Amino acid sequence: FEQAFRDHRSQLKLVLFCTTVSGGGLLAYGEAVAASEPEQKKKKVVVLGTGWAGTTFLRNLNNPRYEVHVVSPRNYFAFTPLLPSVTCGTVEARSIVEPVRNIFRKKKVNAYFNEAECVKIDAANKKIYCRSNINNNLNVKDEFVVDYDYLVIAVGANVNTFNTPGVVENCHFLKEVEDAQRIRRTVIDCFERASLPSISEEERKRILHFAIVGGGPTGVEFAASLHDFVNEDLVKLYPKAKDLVKITLLEAGDHILSMFDKRITAFAEDKFRRDGIDVKTGSMVVKVSDKEISTKEMKNGGEITSIPYGMAVWSTGIGTRPFIRDFMQQIGQINRRAVATDEWLRVEGTDNVYALGDCATINQRKVMEDIAAIFKKADADNSGTLTVKELQEVLHDICERYPQVELYLKSKQMNNVADLLKESKGDVKKESIELHIEELKTALSNVDSQMKFLPATAQVASQQGTYLAKCFDRMEECEINPEGPLRFRGEGRHRFKPFRYKHLGQFAPLGGEQAAAQLPGDWVSIGHSTQWLWYSIYASKQVSWRTRALVVTDWTRRFLFGRDSSQI
Ligand code: FAD
């Protein structure tokens, strides 16, 4: 108070005079001091992207000491898990999007949005270069530069075509809301074209052949949604098309939904066979022309066959955005699919740059070094072998530090190792068996260098967004009282606990009001009740009450009146 008194003596005189006149007392003095104090400069956080990772970060950031600038080519958040439902009109596109400015409106933090895409990151000078795609009637693209104190990269990924010729020109993708709307229009187009009198029977068959490339969760869900749309709604309106429609699902691997439990894979393949969806496994697409898809049949010694099609949807995985590739080169991260971060989501080789969601990956080399260190510690006598008990302890340690390793082992169906992991908390029965350390080390380090430990899902992206926002909120607090583990290198502790992914389960809607779910603890649930679980979880996960109400209304409308087949 003394200091304030000295600093603001002249103001005090004035205030005392005013308060004597107004009778406002000391309160008025306090306000005058606060108003004259220079405001502490806010740290500028630039967020790239308004998808799952970026939006969750924004929704959870509460510390008003930051000024947030968001740059993204779309001014809304889209609930991607419902995109397959948009392709068939089960849900309307507008029902699954929320304007980002609506999200800001409710925040204490100063936030600004620019509808533009980032084209270059200059990490050395802490600047990003942006270009707006808004049509300004002059055919000139507005360009601008934004500087930052912290940069959060959450730009997701783009579609991976594996450089297959003809894919970009002839296939639909299912990544954005516009893609889903385009697919919906094309499906109806195919039915209308096939109804024209000038079309031959053979051509009709071709037009009504829908090919889906990729037997992952998105491809499978789209195939199931399309099958329901055709059989529950379209065949009533286009009765002649009934016997001509064909849906084919092409998958290069041996099974569809290979990342799920074997029981789910088997159920899905069996259900699709019963529904008449042609599942072609071991079929790798090598070329797509405007009317034919060429595939290499692995089961027939690599024979090339051609399939005529009317509409093709490409859903085979994700790739790196070009400006992210440039950025990775700039910071010395070469030959990677995604930006490498440490466990605190900090981009390696940069200052104050964070990456999360589909565009990022936690550095595996570092993980491998840690795993090797854990093994070395366990094999104290240097014998090169471990008993099952020792191995279980080692794996337990690894999985506690890196839960994603357990997920990886399961996804590769290395069940023997995964079983050992599961048993590690209970009784050990196979004490006498010895396993070679090298065997497991090789298995773990054989992880394809392009493969992420964490799956590219909304679940990972949103958990990372929440984690990072909490770190930002407590940045100063944790600087003084660090809460993280001891540093491997250097003194003291890390400021924060590292990011830990919590797997909450995975769904695969299979059509006909049936779904499969793989829930934590390897609990598998398949059938109609699982579909209702899916409805309730996806309704609850909506980002606002507005979209929740719209989505539930759309589902009800569909139950009562069926899907809309107009081309709007
Ligand atoms: P995104 O959500 O893709 O967001 C990226 C953001 O970056 C976008 O706003 C984009 O406009 C913006 N951007 C792009 N380029 C730039 C640039 N140059 N500058 C600035 N901004 C840019 N996951 C699940 O967990 N469960 C599901 O059921 C599920 N279903 C899915 C169904 C479909 C059809 C799809 C496509 C995906 C599904 N996923 C699901 C995966 C999930 O959507 C992604 O893992 C998730 O969106 C990743 O979040 P993200 O924030 O990293 O990227």
What is the CA(175)–ligand 1 centre distance, in A? 7
Atom of ligand 1 nearest to the CA of 78: 2
Do 183 and 306 lie in one domain? The reply is yes
User: In angstroms, what is the span from residue 49 Cα to ligand 1's centroid?
Assistant: 9
The residues, any chain, with a CB within 8 Å of residue 45's CB and separated by 6 or more, are: 61, 66, 67, 68, 69, 148, 149, 150, 151, 152, 472
Q: What are the tens digits of pLDDT across the range 480-513?
A: 998 887 765 567 788 898 888 888 889 999 999 9
pLDDT per residue as tens digits for the range 374-426: 666 666 666 666 666 676 677 676 666 665 566 555 555 445 555 555 554 44
The pLDDT score that the predictor gives to residue 450 is 33
Regarding whether 31 and 52 lie in a shared domain, the answer is: no
Taking the centre of ligand 1 as the mean of its atom positions, its distance from the CA of residue 235, in whole angstroms, is 33
Query: Considering 397, 424, 445, which residue would you say is the last residue of a domain?
Result: 445
Nearest CA to ligand 1 atom 27: 81
Contact 256, 279 (CB under 8 A): yes
Is the same domain home to 310 and 174?
Answer: yes
Tell me the CA–centroid distance for residue 47 and ligand 1, in Å. 15
For ligand 1, atom 10: residue with the closest CA: 49
431 and 538 housed in the same domain: no
The number of the ligand 1 atom at minimal distance from the alpha carbon of 117 is 19
Pocket test residue of 77, 80, 85 for ligand 1, highest count of atoms within 8 A of CB? 80
CATH of the domain at 195: 3.50.50.100
CA of 241 to the centre of ligand 1 (A): 35
> Which residue lies with its CA nearest to atom 30 of ligand 1?
81
Which of 134, 452, 457 gets mutated to test ligand 1 (max ligand atoms within 8 A of its CB)?
A: 457
State phi, psi for 321 to the nearest 5 degrees: -70, 145
478 in a domain, yes or no?
Answer: no
Ligand 1 atom 28: residue of nearest CA: 81
Give the number of the atom of ligand 1 that is nearest the alpha carbon of residue 175: 36
Strands 172-173 and 311-314: parallel
Together in a domain, 125 and 175: no
CA-nearest residue for atom 49, ligand 1, is: 52
CATH number for the domain including 348?
3.50.50.60
Same-domain check for residues 148 and 16: no
Q: How far, in Å, is the centroid of ligand 1 from the Cα of 550?
A: 21
Q: Which domain holds residue 21?
A: 2-36
Residue 470: inside a domain, yes or no?
Answer: no
Separation of alpha carbons 95 and 17, rounded Å: 59
pLDDT at 179: 97
Q: Is residue 386 part of a domain?
A: yes
Judge whether 341 lies within some domain.
yes
Per DSSP, helices labelled H in 312-425 are: 322-330, 364-378, 388-401, 403-411, 415-423
Residues 126 and 208 in one domain: no
210 lies in the same domain as 349: no
Q: How many angstroms does the Cα of residue 52 sit away from the middle of ligand 1?
A: 6
- Asked if 260 and 368 sit in the same domain, the reply is no
Ligand 1 atom closest to the Cα of residue 54 is: 51
330 domain-assigned: yes
Q: Do 189 and 262 share a domain, yes or no?
A: yes
From 419, 445, 471, give the residue that closes a domain: 445
Which DSSP state fits 384? Answer: S
Say yes or no: 292 and 219 in one domain.
yes
55 alpha carbon to ligand 1 midpoint, in Å?
11
- Evaluate whether residue 490 is within a structural domain: no
CA distance 24 to 17: 10
One domain, residues 199 and 341: no
Using CA positions, which residue lies closest to atom 53 of ligand 1? 156
Helices 26-36 and 9-22: crossing angle, nearest 10°? 140
pLDDT of residue 409: 58
Ligand 1 nearest atom to the CA of residue 155, by list position:
7
Phi, psi of 485 (to 5 degrees): -75, 165
Which atom of ligand 1 sits closest to the CA of residue 359?
Answer: 52
226: exposed, middle or buried (C-beta count within 10 Å: 0-12, 13-18, 19+)?
buried
> Which of 115, 155, 174, 220 to mutate for ligand 1's pocket (most ligand atoms within 8 Å of CB)?
155
Q: What is the pLDDT of residue 105?
A: 83
Out of 406, 425, 445, a domain closes at: 445
Q: Atom 4 in ligand 1: which residue has the minimum CA distance?
A: 51
Which residues are near ligand 1 (CB < 6 Å)?
48-54, 71-74, 80-81, 83-84, 117-118, 154-156, 174-175, 218, 321, 323, 357-359, 456-459, 461
What is the whole-number distance in angstroms between the Cα of residue 208 and the centre of ligand 1?
30
Spatial separation of the C-alpha atoms in residues 358 and 380, rounded to whole Å? 39
Residues lower than pLDDT 70 in the chain: 1-39, 136-140, 364-389, 391-392, 395, 397-453, 487-490
- 78 inside domain: no
Asked if 375 and 390 count as a contact pair (C-beta separation under 8 A), the reply is no
| CA 244 to centroid of ligand 1, rounded, Å | 35
How many domains does one find in the chain? 4
Environment class of 487 (CB within 10 Å of its CB; exposed 0-12, middle 13-18, buried 19+): exposed
Task: Give the closest residue to 251 by CA, choosing from 319, 311, 315.
Answer: 315
In whole angstroms, give the CA distance from residue 313 to residue 296: 18
**What's the pLDDT score for residue 564?**
86
Q: Indicate whether 9 belongs to any domain.
A: yes
Index of the ligand 1 atom closest to the CA of residue 457: 45
The reported pLDDT for the residue numbered 400 is 66
Contact call for residues 131 and 143 (beta carbons, < 8 A): yes
